[in-house]
Amino acid sequence: MQRLRRLRQLGLAYLAFPSAEHSRFTHALGALAMGTHAFDELVGNAPERFGDSVHAAYQRRLVRAALLLHDIGHGPFSHSCESVLEVRHEARTGDLIALPEVAAGIADLDVDAKDVLALIVGDADNRYPALRELVSGPNLDADRMDYLLRDAYFTGVSNGRYDAEQLIGSLRVLERDGRLVVGIDRRGVVALESFVMARYMMFASVYFHHTTRMFEHILHDVLRDLWPNPHALDPIEEFLRWDDFRVLNALDEARSEAARALRNRVRVYALAAEFNAERDLKLFEACEAALRERFGPQNVWADSQAQLLHRLPFGIGEESTVWVDGPGGAVDAREVSDVIAKLSGKAYWRKLFVRRDSTSSGEAEIVSEARQLCAQILAKL
Amino acid sequence: MQRLRRLRQLGLAYLAFPSAEHSRFTHALGALAMGTHAFDELVGNAPERFGDSVHAAYQRRLVRAALLLHDIGHGPFSHSCESVLEVRHEARTGDLIALPEVAAGIADLDVDAKDVLALIVGDADNRYPALRELVSGPNLDADRMDYLLRDAYFTGVSNGRYDAEQLIGSLRVLERDGRLVVGIDRRGVVALESFVMARYMMFASVYFHHTTRMFEHILHDVLRDLWPNPHALDPIEEFLRWDDFRVLNALDEARSEAARALRNRVRVYALAAEFNAERDLKLFEACEAALRERFGPQNVWADSQAQLLHRLPFGIGEESTVWVDGPGGAVDAREVSDVIAKLSGKAYWRKLFVRRDSTSSGEAEIVSEARQLCAQILAKL
Amino acid sequence: MQRLRRLRQLGLAYLAFPSAEHSRFTHALGALAMGTHAFDELVGNAPERFGDSVHAAYQRRLVRAALLLHDIGHGPFSHSCESVLEVRHEARTGDLIALPEVAAGIADLDVDAKDVLALIVGDADNRYPALRELVSGPNLDADRMDYLLRDAYFTGVSNGRYDAEQLIGSLRVLERDGRLVVGIDRRGVVALESFVMARYMMFASVYFHHTTRMFEHILHDVLRDLWPNPHALDPIEEFLRWDDFRVLNALDEARSEAARALRNRVRVYALAAEFNAERDLKLFEACEAALRERFGPQNVWADSQAQLLHRLPFGIGEESTVWVDGPGGAVDAREVSDVIAKLSGKAYWRKLFVRRDSTSSGEAEIVSEARQLCAQILAKL
Amino acid sequence: MQRLRRLRQLGLAYLAFPSAEHSRFTHALGALAMGTHAFDELVGNAPERFGDSVHAAYQRRLVRAALLLHDIGHGPFSHSCESVLEVRHEARTGDLIALPEVAAGIADLDVDAKDVLALIVGDADNRYPALRELVSGPNLDADRMDYLLRDAYFTGVSNGRYDAEQLIGSLRVLERDGRLVVGIDRRGVVALESFVMARYMMFASVYFHHTTRMFEHILHDVLRDLWPNPHALDPIEEFLRWDDFRVLNALDEARSEAARALRNRVRVYALAAEFNAERDLKLFEACEAALRERFGPQNVWADSQAQLLHRLPFGIGEESTVWVDGPGGAVDAREVSDVIAKLSGKAYWRKLFVRRDSTSSGEAEIVSEARQLCAQILAKL
């Protein structure tokens, strides 16, 4: 657990938002607090769904253990690390929970390690479907409830706040096609709207910030140099030795340009243009082609929201979003909320970057030329 | 001015949000502060747009005087009063500014009263088009910038907050088709998004709250009883004698059911159903018809967003929203922001109310029956 | 109850802090919420002190009813009104609770009206001593816990905030000399310190603000003109007809200078000097004498903290402050907290005012002369 | 500069306050912002004190450069590191500023490096005495103004907030005995009081927190093991290689009990008793003696406020605190503020710790026995 203190919740985002230096450790404590509060609310509203008091107490211990441990499988700089090492953090979680000292800790909490693991990485056929949604569901999980607020607090982005108390107070266990799901009471729609908006704004302002994305792109190369063998961290003891701080120290010895750029915050790429909507796809492609032709393909990087591992879209196509209880039965949130309907669906955000040293002209000229190139294409249409 | 201390900024909203007791006086001070800050930002970024320093200083005094006085034409319970007395508050403003004591005050500020009036109620051909937008424009005016934050603070609705400092910091005077307009710098798009979202949420949560709307509906009858002659307050001295507090005192003597309901917060109507989107219009009509048939037309009240005097939609049809400066020239905010595009356009919010004493059955039965009736219609489609 | 919406919590403080327009109604709801939270904490920590579950539930209803009603005896502008009408608001409370409609409301809550009254105005021999402390105790009552935070929020004075959640979380029922008292757990000392500091700062910044105090002084004369007969409001129906708004309307007709000053915020007096500590008493007397001699006794007003009805000093002399539980038994808060010891004890705050029209010289000259006069006396010593 | 991102502002405090993970880098940016704001206020109020506009602009660049760089001399875990390596961070600052790359950066800012250094570590005979106070003065420096608010934000301790905007708005350059000093306007006394209170509370709650202090005590042994030679980091290149993260990584290899305790947050000591006031000194000595006798001197640790490198006392003895301007000339803040007088002076805070494995009894028994021992001594007197 203490290792999570050395993994930053937002990875490299501190290079764009200096105060975003908070760790996964504090997030784990926060998710634990949020989830406990949410669980108590669900039980208070429908105790009959949680069995007798002994069984309800077991489920409370279980959901708390799972939330505390839900991120222990993360390596340094999480998602970048995963793609270099070709292993998802969820896969690590099972190994870690099996370690003697972790197993002993779980046993002390008087819960079954198999149940804990199932809540964190389990599939929909879980014995405790409502708890699984609280821990690792796609929309109303305590993980997300905590990280949105926490990331907003530590980046200072005021739009990421939402009314957590009111949202949690409106959580309900509903029955839907014979299965228990976590939904909300009709009175909680405004709080849910604020939650969906906060999520949207945090993606726009923070998670997809061009400075952060650029350094994450660079980090990928750095990690590949650091671990040329993708199985280097497969042994669990070796994996546990690594954290963000050790990677940053290792950069000190590394002499590659990328390593120096990361350590000294040298912005190797500049943002040339960005695109937000489906109708912009053609423009995006035209701009990308023009930049590649002018500066060379190796000097242009196209980023898209789909490359983020966080899932922005709140409900795509037929998939349900959040169930809302009401006089005529549960309905999808998009039907009772205009704003949720508008903010749901696939996102088409894209950014185009160009290397600042693409040609022999000065940096400022390259950036200005790239932006003008895109501006002309945009003006034409 | 001191009379504004006895006019509540949100009229009857305190019957839904108990702490929304703030006055138009504090709003006038806030709009003054916001507008001064915005003016200084505009001048700092493009001093050449504001003439020499003497002229710039005159414009600063002018915009401050106009913001301080922009609401003096309001009567008690503003919009309800206007519809009963058939006179808009802007029309009063001219009369008030001509009063000797107000004119003397304006003269002390060393500004021309005609210029002040033109900023408050003027048309687009103003001598100072950018200042007019700051005072009474449709989107980026200091009036709105203040009241959104203020109403959010005093109702306690957390979603109404937006990043005012960043929004004001990105304000720019732009030239568009040969006219000066107030727009924003490209870096301010996220702040503008938060502003548009805050506006949307304040409408959904506060301005169109069913309890407030219900009491405003009742108030209309009360005011009509109080002033059977719509010209009763035409003499300016008589108009000035009235404020929210005097109306509330007058209710004490009035013996009508509506007056008692207002004074003692008796909720005469109950919400039967609400509708948010264009596709719901048919459903709305079907529900309204069913309720009218069952409870009698006189016992059903259909409210729609269009009856609000605050303008929700952020840009309708071809009309521009906010100009955003960028490398390829100024573009409409909807083109650079996905979320602004989604939240713009006409709104189709509707609410259906039924009187709690519509039939001889108990209140609870009436409300429950009305809701079931609507729920059945909704479930069918 | 709805009448409390027309009594401002801070009386005339809005003339110094424009946004301090909140009512006693919102304070009553806040005290109810705080007190319920505090009660639940006390019961959760020591259920055996509250009897069986039926009895504990009764006490919960009781403390809630008392907090909701604790201020119903207040007249317009509370304390000023009391001194003019020679009746304390607590004395009214009994009469009001006996009114048929209030009695019916209390009966609906299933509590005994005598018990409610005893918690609000009762003496120390109450059947429920811990509840009485929560409702109307001198230090840890929910009344004070709410009004400090609320007044800080609505005046915008940031120093009035304290950590209410932590303070309430540390409340404990302790036994002291055979009686139950409300105290705190040792871990709550820092929260208690923040509470004591907040109280101190709110007195310094808000309750004893010179502008508010000056208008309260003027109000006294206005009310005496309004009700020349101190028994004018003795009949309860007459008393109930009056609220802040009716008084302010009545001022409109009144033609005295004081009435006009209040209605138009004319600052009749100016602050000449202020004194904070015991050692300043001699200086204060010298300054008062000098001002009276120079401007005439009728033009000088000396205000002291002792004239406030709110009690600032946190513990005087031998009297205990707050009991703090610890390994060696309960001790007084002054013994475990350096800062509480320092901020306890009698306060010696004084202010000297002079009428702005005391002599035939201009206003500015009078104020400046009065301040110089005092400054010279201060410089000499 | 980027190295400051790897030095935590509060060292080990994150072991007591998990979210206190913010770096000296963000503090440097914050001090820069606060100091710029303060400088502009001082100049705006008395431009004549800062020479012509060219000279004023130079001083603005100078104070900004000094604030940005004021902490670059800090090593890992700052104060612990200083005592082990026997060198103060101020001494390093000169060496660092002389490094070619730093010197080039300072030259780019168009300021004289000698002036910068003099503001950071200089004595009272500085050419720019007011600027020196802003950078490194004992009371009204931008360093302190930022770190109090920042540490309060990141620990979540609400009592550390004060009204920075009002305090800065009241800053004035005053002349005192022929020298320029930074003081405040009389209207800023309430803001200054809140600042003094915040400082007091942050010491009580955060800087002298027993958990932090205990780990700092342990860290001392760890660093001594890590650098047996106190001159190990004298070469500036070696010094620059070290940061908090490298030390924490080095702990991984270290096998001492202290290193393990730090890395895994094992609380080796328990708090036995704490003392706050001068009158407690005798009690403190009696308790310390009793604990040493019972558990052995090597198992008892006595901590005192004097061992903190932050300076708590706000004015000791004859030394002045903050000058407050007023009608009769500048006076010391203790004379115009009751609460500042009370919170000034020497502090006598002490804590007694005992090792949890002092004897063969279980941990819980040792802690409980130590607390009882002290409680008995306290109860006797």
Is the CB of C378 less than 8 angstroms away from the CB of D342?
Answer: no
Which residues does chain A have within 8 Å of residue B342's beta carbon, measured at their own beta carbons? Answer: 342-343
Weakest-pLDDT range from A219-228, C244-253, D108-117 = C244-253
Please, what is the angle between helix A100-108 and helix A113-121, to 10°? 100
According to DSSP, residue A304 is labeled E
Cα–Cα nearest to A64, from A103, A101, A107, A28: A28
Q: How far is CA D30 from the centre of its chain?
A: 15
| Rg over CA atoms, chain C | 23
Rounded to a whole number of angstroms, the distance from the CA of B258 to the nearest CA of chain A is 28
Weakest-pLDDT range from A336-350, B178-192, B362-376, D302-316 = D302-316
- What count of other Cβ atoms lies within 10 Å of the Cβ of residue A354? 27
Cα–Cα nearest to A244, from D243, C370, C250: D243
B271 contact partners, CB below 8 Å, separation of at least 6: B210, B214, B351, B352, B353
Q: Which CATH superfamily is domain A1-156+209-267 in?
A: Hypothetical protein af1432 (1.10.3210.10)
What amino acid occupies position C210? Answer: H
Sheet holding C269-275, edge to edge: C269-275, C350-355, C300-304
Q: Given pLDDT bands bounded at 50, 70 and 90, which one contains residue C89? A: confident
Listed as ranges, residues in chain D with pLDDT below 50 are none
- Flag whether pLDDT at A28 surpasses 80: yes
- Flag whether pLDDT at B346 surpasses 70: yes
- At residue A210, the pLDDT reads 94
β C300-304/C269-275 pair status: unpaired
- At residue D263, the pLDDT reads 85
Burial of D84 (0-12, 13-18, 19+ CB in 10 A): buried
Q: Given pLDDT bands bounded at 50, 70 and 90, which one contains residue C361? A: confident
C-alpha torsion sign, points A259, A262, A265, A270: positive
Burial of C311 (0-12, 13-18, 19+ CB in 10 A): middle
Is the CB of A194 less than 8 angstroms away from the CB of B375?
Answer: no
Contact D315, D233 (CB under 8 A): no
- Flag whether pLDDT at A135 surpasses 80: yes
Contact D30, D150 (CB under 8 A): yes
Q: Find the closest chain B residue to A345 by CA distance.
A: B342
- At residue C281, the pLDDT reads 87
Contact C208, C179 (CB under 8 A): no
- Flag whether pLDDT at B187 surpasses 90: no
Is the CB of C19 less than 8 angstroms away from the CB of B22?
Answer: yes
| Rg over CA atoms, chain A | 23
- Asked if C328 is an interface residue toward chain D (Cβ–Cβ < 8 A), one would say yes
Coil, strand or helix: which one is B21? coil
Residue D183: strand pairing partners: D172
Rounded to the nearest integer, the mean pLDDT of chain B is: 89
Tell me the count of A-B CB pairs closer than 8 A.
85
Residues C90-145: pLDDT tens digits?
778 999 999 998 999 999 999 999 999 999 987 767 889 999 999 988 889 999 99
Residue B174: strand pairing partners: B181
Which residues does chain D have within 8 Å of residue A18's beta carbon, measured at their own beta carbons? Answer: 5, 23, 25-26, 29
Residues A196-207: pLDDT tens digits?
999 988 988 899
- CA pair distance D102, C176, nearest whole angstrom: 65
Region C272-291: mean pLDDT is: 89
Region A35-51: mean pLDDT is: 95
Q: Given pLDDT bands bounded at 50, 70 and 90, which one contains residue C314? A: low
Weakest-pLDDT range from B247-251, C26-30, C88-92, C112-116 = C88-92
Residues C158-215: pLDDT tens digits?
778 898 999 999 999 998 878 889 999 988 988 999 899 999 889 888 999 999 999 9
Q: Given pLDDT bands bounded at 50, 70 and 90, which one contains residue B124? A: low
Rounded to a whole number of angstroms, the distance from the CA of C299 to the nearest CA of chain B is 27
Secondary structure of D295-357 in HEC code, one letter for each residue: HCHHHEEEEEHHHCCCCCCCCCCCCCCCEECCCCCCEEHHHHCHHHHHHCCCCCCEEEEEECC
* Both structure tokens of D25: 């880098």
Is the CB of B371 less than 8 angstroms away from the CB of A327?
Answer: yes
Cα A190-A192-A197 angle, rounded to 5 deg:
95
* Both structure tokens of D279: 């009158």
- Flag whether pLDDT at B358 surpasses 70: yes
Q: Given pLDDT bands bounded at 50, 70 and 90, which one contains residue C316? A: low
Candidates A155, A161, A276, A344: best to mutate against B (most CBs of B within 10 A) is A276
Chains that touch C (3 or more CB pairs under 8 A): B, D
Is the CB of C277 less than 8 angstroms away from the CB of D341?
Answer: yes
- At residue C379, the pLDDT reads 78
Cα–Cα nearest to B148, from B211, B195, B209, B204: B195
Q: Which CATH number is C2-156 given?
A: 1.10.3210.10
Tell me the helices (H) and strands (E) count for chain A, helix number first: 18, 7
Q: Can you tell me which residue has the tokens 């003392």?
A: D275
Is the CB of B21 less than 8 angstroms away from the CB of C23?
Answer: yes
Rounded to the nearest integer, the mean pLDDT of chain A is: 89
Residues B131-172: pLDDT tens digits?
999 998 888 999 999 999 999 999 998 778 898 999 999 999
Q: What is the largest CA-CA distance in chain A?
A: 74
Is the CB of B18 less than 8 angstroms away from the CB of C2?
Answer: no
- At residue D343, the pLDDT reads 86
Q: Find the closest chain D residue to C372 by CA distance.
A: D327
Kind plus residue range of the DSSP H or E element containing A181: strand A179-184
Rounded to a whole number of angstroms, the distance from the CA of A334 to the nearest CA of chain D is 36
Residues D22-64: pLDDT tens digits?
999 999 999 999 999 999 999 999 999 999 999 999 999 999 9
Residue A324: strand pairing partners: A184, A331
Region C146-152: mean pLDDT is: 95
- CA pair distance A277, D125, nearest whole angstrom: 62
- CA pair distance B17, B26, nearest whole angstrom: 18
Is the CB of C21 less than 8 angstroms away from the CB of B18?
Answer: no
High-pLDDT (> 90) share of chain B, %: 54
- At residue B97, the pLDDT reads 92
- At residue D40, the pLDDT reads 96
- At residue A4, the pLDDT reads 86
- Asked if A45 is an interface residue toward chain D (Cβ–Cβ < 8 A), one would say no
Is the CB of A249 less than 8 angstroms away from the CB of D245?
Answer: yes
Q: What is the ipTM of this complex?
A: 0.88
- Asked if D349 is an interface residue toward chain C (Cβ–Cβ < 8 A), one would say yes
Residues C32-74: pLDDT tens digits?
999 999 999 999 999 999 999 999 999 999 999 999 999 999 9
- CA pair distance B81, B374, nearest whole angstrom: 33
Region A269-288: mean pLDDT is: 89
Is the CB of B376 less than 8 angstroms away from the CB of A158?
Answer: no
- Asked if D238 is an interface residue toward chain A (Cβ–Cβ < 8 A), one would say no
Residues D254-287: pLDDT tens digits?
778 889 899 889 999 999 998 887 778 899 999 9
- At residue A317, the pLDDT reads 63
Q: Find the closest chain D residue to C339 by CA distance.
A: D343
Rounded to a whole number of angstroms, the distance from the CA of A348 to the nearest CA of chain B is 9
Nearest to D18 among A6, A25, A264 (CB): A25
A43 contact partners, CB below 8 Å, separation of at least 6: A49, A50, A56, A60
- CA pair distance C63, C69, nearest whole angstrom: 10
